[in-house]
Amino acid sequence: MEKLRILRLLSFLLASLIFKPGTLAAGLPRSVLQSTVLSNPQDIKSSYDFVVIGGGTSGLTVADRLAKDGKYTVLVIEHGPLVYADDLLTVYGALAPLTDPLKYLYHISSVPQVGLNNKTGRIWIGNLVGGSSAVNGMVTTRGTKTDYDRWGSFWSKTSFWNWTNLLPYFKRAMIFTPPPEPVRSGFDITYDIDAVWGYNNGTGVHASWPSYQFPGIKIQWDAYKEIPGVEFPRDSGGGTNGVYWHPTVMDPKNVTRSFARTAHFDGLNRSNYHLLPNFKVTKILFEGDTATGVRFRPGNGSSNFYQVRAEKEVILAAGAIHSPQVLQLSGIGPRPLLELAGIPVKVELPGVGQNFQDHPSLNMSFKYQNYTIHPNADDMNSNQTFIAFAAELWNTNKTGPYSIAAGNAGSFLGLPVISPHNYEAIADKLDAQDVSAYLPPGSHPDVIASYKAQMTSYAAALRTKNMTVYHMIFHATAAQGGIVYYHPLSRGTVNINVTDPETSEPLVDYRVLSNPIDIEILIEFMKFTRKYYLESKTLAPLAPVETGPGSNVTSDADLEAFIRDNFTPTTFHPVGTCAMMPRELGGVVDENLLVHGLKKLRIIDASIFSTTIGVNTCQTVYAISERAADLILHDAEYSSS
Ligand SMILES: Cc1cc2nc3c(=O)[nH]c(=O)nc-3n(C[C@H](O)[C@H](O)[C@H](O)COP(=O)(O)OP(=O)(O)OC[C@H]3O[C@@H](n4cnc5c(N)ncnc54)[C@H](O)[C@@H]3O)c2cc1C
Ligand SMILES: *[C@@H]1O[C@H](CO)[C@@H](O)[C@H](O)[C@H]1NC(C)=O
Ligand SMILES: *[C@@H]1O[C@H](CO)[C@@H](O)[C@H](O)[C@H]1NC(C)=O
Ligand SMILES: *[C@@H]1O[C@H](CO)[C@@H](O)[C@H](O)[C@H]1NC(C)=O
Ligand SMILES: *[C@@H]1O[C@H](CO)[C@@H](O)[C@H](O)[C@H]1NC(C)=O
Ligand SMILES: *[C@@H]1O[C@H](CO)[C@@H](O)[C@H](O)[C@H]1NC(C)=O
Ligand SMILES: *[C@@H]1O[C@H](CO)[C@@H](O)[C@H](O)[C@H]1NC(C)=O
Ligand SMILES: *[C@@H]1O[C@H](CO)[C@@H](O)[C@H](O)[C@H]1NC(C)=O
Ligand SMILES: *[C@@H]1O[C@H](CO)[C@@H](O)[C@H](O)[C@H]1NC(C)=O
Ligand SMILES: *[C@@H]1O[C@H](CO)[C@@H](O)[C@H](O)[C@H]1NC(C)=O
Ligand SMILES: *[C@@H]1O[C@H](CO)[C@@H](O)[C@H](O)[C@H]1NC(C)=O
Ligand SMILES: *[C@@H]1O[C@H](CO)[C@@H](O)[C@H](O)[C@H]1NC(C)=O
Ligand SMILES: *[C@@H]1O[C@H](CO)[C@@H](O)[C@H](O)[C@H]1NC(C)=O
């Protein structure tokens, strides 16, 4: 059952691509200069200025920036291996690493989901150097202004966490290359380098474009012109939503994945930047309230323990699933949970591991009966003429369908556009809701206050176009209907397993659909998606037809039943479990990303999002890490002078 769901989800995100990577990625050079890689814990120094927990997306980015001037020593401890393999670099379909038996991922399943008739779902996160950026779909976009202004709004009107202030860090994080001709003019792809990307002449992750697009994208785009209220922003990163083009995180020179390892580790040759792969941090060490180092053990579970000292700071970058685990193991978290696990309470922070959010998705399906633009996606891999055509383009010039990652266009829409008749009633209902009923029983009052503040903000935003809730990926070749839900109301939990806190993976509960208004919004999504495909004058010549759930499923009760049977709790974007919020709102870190109540312990990964954003998460994680480096360096200078 789960396997089937995963395949459906993958096929939706991969646009049904199944291929033979060996034939595509041959000939890529393998020798790469690195900073210092340690394979034996005996080789590490007894102390570093900074110890970074997790060599993933955020961890490598911050380590690179902190080590840059040669002034500070940095050690990154990463649970997973350092892997140089062609399937990580292949752009085609972008999720190639996952088509193999999940070899680069953690093996974690969620607890049974009550909202999904007790089905479980896999947790998709990378377990290797580069973290999730090494295996992700390579889609890169930026949320709307309201997404980032909301983070600051929980603090004050003048918080420095706002869109305007984060923009320079987005620019520092990414190196933009415009789309090549003729794809730019052929598809009328627009962009705004001055306002959105800047001219990054330093280092960063590449945002560039495939030199090919499927002709069918145009008609999907044009069909949106029929829908009232849809805007077409000039660039994916301008802070407004609508229907737009977005780049791929790929190195345009050789059409390979650009990620935290290639941008912030490979080629650096720095003696002050050490990486220890294959080791897992189990505890943060303190003297009084000051973090002074970490305890770690081999990632394979062997029970030798080691420790290392951090002179300036310990930086937690283990991602939204494991950062709360490391905190809880260190005695920082909800008191009742720590007591059950027999862990002495260092600082009671009820929000650690709560407020868990992801972007769930709904798999409707549509087909064009009269599809003359291009072979249908489902047939693409069995069509030998097509495969030969694609292989020729790739082998000669690294172009064609095999140069496309997970796609470069889609719709990102607010509730008033999706549901012009019901959005106000839905927002009113959320405003009036007693939200405490939808959190786990016994939730701490601070966690309830946090949820209330978030839902008040969402209710206001649901009345504007500016908070993206609905995302349709434009498929390479044909209709599909997979829809991502970008600001779900339900909140989950990530807690240590109290019977085996240290070696067992944490218990992840998406609590998907626990807030009943989510179902109401998803019913609106289904009605809108039908309208888009089936009432469109633009699409009519293609004779679209709904294949799932089918035209006989119309009542709200039947739509709800379909949702509960066909909902996937994740599109791989876990966030929120160590939220940057005031302590009285269940927050875990303050505006400087320092853990409340402690000194010299910072969290910089996707767990600090207080509320999720209306796009894929990676570009924002890079921007946060870039800002974190500035905050950390500022404090390091200050404390040493
Ligand atoms: C399959 C998949 C597809 C995705 N697709 C996209 C996409 O197309 N576009 C997009 O923008 N985003 C995408 N994302 C999301 C995006 O990649 C993540 O939001 C982002 O990479 C998270 O960064 P992070 O630093 O928070 O965590 P990670 O990058 O996951 O890094 C955490 C690291 O910490 C390590 N670690 C954990 N615990 C410990 C410990 N105790 N000790 C030592 N090390 C530890 C982990 O092994 C990991 O390497 C995708 C993610 C996945 C998994
Ligand atoms: C791709 O090109 C970049 C230079 O732009 C280089 O650093 C990198 O090693 C190359 N990667 C591969 C796999 O060839
Ligand atoms: C799901 O599990 C719960 C708790 O075990 C149980 O009460 C409920 O009946 C189950 N629901 C379904 C649809 O099986
Ligand atoms: C963003 O924050 C800065 C303070 O750091 C402030 O000067 C600026 O006015 C804020 N911008 C907006 C639009 O709120
Ligand atoms: C970065 O490069 C661009 C284009 O090559 C150039 O115009 C700009 O002046 C450079 N910026 C800096 C700060 O060097
Ligand atoms: C790497 O740096 C060391 C000095 O730290 C230097 O001796 C060596 O030549 C450098 N290697 C390369 C390939 O630049
Ligand atoms: C586990 O990892 C450690 C450190 O890398 C190594 O010494 C040990 O042999 C490994 N044990 C097993 C069973 O692989
Ligand atoms: C196979 O692909 C070719 C080239 O793209 C196309 O012309 C043809 O119609 C396709 N055949 C089928 C059965 O889809
Ligand atoms: C590859 O690119 C060259 C130069 O742009 C062009 O002449 C050639 O036709 C291309 N080959 C294919 C198969 O498109
Ligand atoms: C929403 O965005 C539009 C621009 O698209 C802007 O005019 C409007 O002020 C925004 N509204 C809110 C409430 O932010
Ligand atoms: C919690 O840990 C125990 C002991 O390792 C294990 O038997 C149990 O399956 C774990 N619980 C879950 C839900 O994974
Ligand atoms: C199918 O597409 C062709 C070419 O666009 C068009 O001439 C024909 O009318 C379409 N058939 C239907 C049933 O829409
Ligand atoms: C709709 O039709 C399909 C196929 O005939 C059937 O399996 C399904 O139960 C029907 N659903 C409803 C709600 O009538």
pLDDT tens readout for residues 616-631: 999 999 999 999 999 9
What band does 13 get if pLDDT is binned at 50, 70 and 90?
A: very low
Average pLDDT of span 284-312: 95
Q: What is the pLDDT of residue 83?
A: 96
Q: Read off the tokens for 637.
A: 């200078």
CA of 301 to the centre of ligand 7 (A): 8
179-193, pLDDT tens digit by residue? 999 999 999 999 999
- Which residue do the tokens 């008739």 mark? 117
Known binder of ligand: residue 400?
A: no
Distance, CA of 188 to CA of 191 (rounded, Å): 10
Helix (H, G, I), strand (E, B) or coil at 290: strand
Question: Where does 131-190 have alpha helices with state H?
Answer: 145-153, 163-173, 183-187
CA of 271 to the centre of ligand 6 (A): 9
Output the DSSP codes for 427-482.
HHHHHH--GGGGSPTT--HHHHHHHHHHHHHHHHHHTSS-S--EEEEPPSSS---E
DSSP bridge partners of 638? none
Q: Is the CB of 558 under 6 A from ligand 13?
A: yes
Q: Read off the tokens for 28.
A: 């890529």
Q: Is the CB of 401 under 6 A from ligand 8?
A: no
Q: Is the CB of 386 under 6 A from ligand 8?
A: yes
Lowest mean pLDDT among 345-349, 386-390, 471-475: 386-390
Output the DSSP codes for 191-203.
--IIIII----S-
Known binder of ligand: residue 281?
A: yes
Q: What is the pLDDT of residue 639?
A: 79
Q: How far is CA 572 from CA 98, 335, 422, 454, 461, in A?
A: 12, 29, 29, 22, 24
Q: Where are the beta strands (DSSP E) in 299-380?
A: 306-316, 332-333, 347-348, 361-363, 365-368
As a whole-number percent, the residues of the chain with pLDDT over 90 amount to 83
Q: Which atom of ligand 1 is nearest to the CA of 97?
A: 1
Q: What is the pLDDT of residue 7?
A: 38
Known binder of ligand: residue 250?
A: no
406-424, pLDDT tens digit by residue? 999 999 999 999 999 999 9
Q: Is the CB of 322 under 6 A from ligand 1?
A: yes
Are the C-beta atoms of 266 and 32 separated by less than 8 Å? yes
CA of 498 to the centre of ligand 9 (A): 60
Distance, CA of 180 to CA of 244 (rounded, Å): 17
161-175, pLDDT tens digit by residue? 999 999 999 999 999
Residues contacting residue 184 through CB under 8 Å, at least 6 positions apart? 178, 209
| 26 has pLDDT over 50 | no
Distance, CA of 56 to CA of 52 (rounded, Å): 10
Q: Is the CB of 369 under 6 A from ligand 12?
A: no
| 3 has pLDDT over 80 | no
What band does 600 get if pLDDT is binned at 50, 70 and 90?
A: very high
CA of 414 to the centre of ligand 10 (A): 11
Residue among 77, 302, 503 whose CB has most ligand 7 atoms within 8 A, to mutate? 302
Are the C-beta atoms of 208 and 247 separated by less than 8 Å? yes
Q: What is the pLDDT of residue 11?
A: 44
Known binder of ligand: residue 137?
A: yes
Distance, CA of 51 to CA of 64 (rounded, Å): 12
Distance, CA of 442 to CA of 546 (rounded, Å): 43
CA of 397 to the centre of ligand 9 (A): 6
Relative to beta strand 36-37, strand 273-276 is: parallel
Q: Which atom of ligand 11 is nearest to the CA of 503?
A: 5
CA of 404 to the centre of ligand 5 (A): 28
Q: Is the CB of 267 under 6 A from ligand 12?
A: no
Relative to beta strand 108-109, strand 482-485 is: unpaired
What band does 379 get if pLDDT is binned at 50, 70 and 90?
A: low
Mean pLDDT of the residues in the chain: 92
Residues contacting residue 230 through CB under 8 Å, at least 6 positions apart? 224, 242, 243, 411, 413, 417
Average pLDDT of span 114-127: 96
Distance, CA of 629 to CA of 388 (rounded, Å): 47
Q: What is the pLDDT of residue 35?
A: 73
| 351 has pLDDT over 90 | yes
Residue among 162, 592, 631 whose CB has most ligand 4 atoms within 8 A, to mutate? 162
198-228, pLDDT tens digit by residue? 999 889 999 999 999 988 889 999 999 999 9
- Which residue do the tokens 């706002």 mark? 162
Q: How far is CA 420 from CA 49, 233, 463, 620, in A?
A: 55, 21, 10, 30
| 19 has pLDDT over 50 | no
Q: Which atom of ligand 11 is nearest to the CA of 497?
A: 1
Lowest mean pLDDT among 27-31, 250-254, 434-438, 610-614: 27-31
Distance, CA of 179 to CA of 209 (rounded, Å): 5
Helix (H, G, I), strand (E, B) or coil at 15: coil
Q: Read off the tokens for 458.
A: 């969402």
Q: What is the pTM of this model?
A: 0.94
What band does 14 get if pLDDT is binned at 50, 70 and 90?
A: very low
CA of 208 to the centre of ligand 8 (A): 29
Closest-CA residue, ligand 9 atom 7, reads 397
554-591, pLDDT tens digit by residue? 999 999 999 999 999 999 999 999 999 999 999 999 99
Q: What is the pLDDT of residue 380?
A: 63
Q: Read off the tokens for 482.
A: 């997979």
Relative to beta strand 242-245, strand 290-298 is: unpaired
Q: Is the CB of 422 under 6 A from ligand 4?
A: no
Are the C-beta atoms of 388 and 396 separated by less than 8 Å? no
526-535, pLDDT tens digit by residue? 999 999 999 9
Q: Which ligand is nearest to the CA of 303?
A: 7
Residue 291 phi, psi dihedral angles, 5° rounding: -70, 130
What band does 387 get if pLDDT is binned at 50, 70 and 90?
A: confident
What band does 384 get if pLDDT is binned at 50, 70 and 90?
A: confident
Q: What is the pLDDT of residue 478?
A: 67
| 641 has pLDDT over 90 | no
| 435 has pLDDT over 50 | yes
Q: Is the CB of 389 under 6 A from ligand 8?
A: yes
Q: Is the CB of 565 under 6 A from ligand 13?
A: no
